[in-house]
Amino acid sequence: MGEQQPTDEDIQIALDWTRQGLKEMGFLAAQDGLRWAAAQGLVRSVWRNGPIEDAHASRPTGRRKALHDGTMFARNTWLTRQAFDVLGCDDRFRLYELEDLVLDRDMVWPGCEGTLTDFGWGFLGEIKKHVKQRIDMFGHFEQRLSPDDFLVFAAASWTGVRDDHYGMPRWPACVEAAMRRLRGEDEEFWRAEGGFSSRIGPAPAAVTADLEATRKLLLESPWELGAENLNWFAWNPILQPPDRTAP
């Protein structure tokens, strides 16, 4: 027997729960917050939580380039921006435009030195299958739901996870906190987290040479900092908001 499909009532209950979660996280009060949340959810479901994670966790080979955290930082933020833009257009095939972007094997990833083929070699078939299945699923619900409810539906996979990634309500606060720390203005942070610098090394010169330029890029287009520089920021407490650093 086939799997039972959710009823309209089931879907509405899930949407109400998701909408409440988004409200509590501050998305609904932020400018374009719901669209950013939907973009995050799309990228998480279609791309990030898929076979690319296996490539990310695997050692490089003679054919597959190392897919380190900085490369994923650049790729994920760029795709989130593309998803945000796609969700803002009225094209009936907009989700398939996003699919084409995700699966383009020849385009050099912005901020990186390689393509999907370079970084995903050995997983390309699985990646393609996963992306197409997820896009088809989202396409089905886009036809079934109102535009606003579809954005809530798309955001569901992100609800309750984080509110401090690129495009999210607390991202500006994270960036400003990092700038204060890089200027040496947050003594409490360095007392609590100063040991991390000995583990990951000092900030790259390209980051500290012009902190205002770095601030603008982190806020608007992190991938333009380049994967190698972003690798220093990945998993780095310097980008955490003040209330999430160690006491």
Q: For the segment 116-126, what is each residue's pLDDT rounded down to a tens digit?
A: 999 999 999 99
**HSE-up of residue 155 (Cα within 13 Å, Cβ side):** 33
Q: In this structure, is residue 164 part of a structural domain?
A: no
pLDDT of residue 195: 65
CA-to-CA dists, residue 191 to 97, 122, 180, 232, 243, angstroms: 47, 44, 14, 20, 15
Do 33 and 151 have their domain in common?
A: yes
Same domain, 75 and 148: yes
The answer to the question of residue 11 being in a domain is: no
Do residues 25 and 122 both lie within one domain? yes
Q: Give the range of the structural domain holding residue 176, as residue numbers without chain letter.
A: 171-244
Q: Are residues 28 and 146 in the same domain?
A: yes
Q: What mean pLDDT do residues 26-42 have?
A: 94
The torsion angle over the Cα atoms of residues 171, 172, 178 and 181, rounded to 10 degrees, is -140
Domain-terminating residue out of 155, 187, 216 = 155
Q: What value does the mean pLDDT of the chain take? A: 91
Looking at the domain assignment, is residue 160 inside a domain? no
The verdict on 62 and 135 lying in the same domain is: yes
Q: Specify the pTM.
A: 0.91
The helix-helix angle for 33-43 and 147-155 (nearest 10°) equals 50
Please list, in sequence order, all residues whose beta carbon lies within 8 angstroms of the beta carbon of residue 47, skipping any fewer than 6 positions away. 76, 79, 102, 131
Q: If phi over 0 gives left and psi between -120 and 50 gives alpha, with beta otherwise, what is residue 61?
A: beta
CB atoms closer than 10 angstroms to residue 79: 22
Indicate if 129 and 202 belong to the same structural domain.
no
What residues have CB less than 8 Å from 146, skipping those under 6 apart?
none
118-144 burial string, b = 16+ CB within 10 Å, else e?
bbbbebbeebbebbeebbeebbeebee
Could you give the percent of the chain with pLDDT greater than 70? 91
Same domain, 136 and 179: no
Residue 1 within any structural domain of the chain: no
Is there a single domain that holds both residue 147 and residue 236?
no
Q: Is residue 7 part of a domain?
A: no
Which of residues 130, 155, 180 is at a domain's end?
A: 155
State the total domains in the chain.
Answer: 2
Has residue 39 got a pLDDT over 70? yes
pLDDT in tens, 161-196: 678 899 999 999 999 999 999 998 888 887 776 666
Q: Are residues 83 and 122 in the same domain?
A: yes
Give residue 9's pLDDT band: very low, low, confident or very high (50, 70, 90).
confident
Q: Is the domain of 38 the same as that of 123?
A: yes
Rounded percentage of the chain residues whose pLDDT exceeds 90: 75
Asked if residue 130 and residue 87 are part of one domain, the reply reads yes
* Residues 143, 179 within the same domain: no
DSSP code, position 6? P
222 DSSP 8-state letter: G
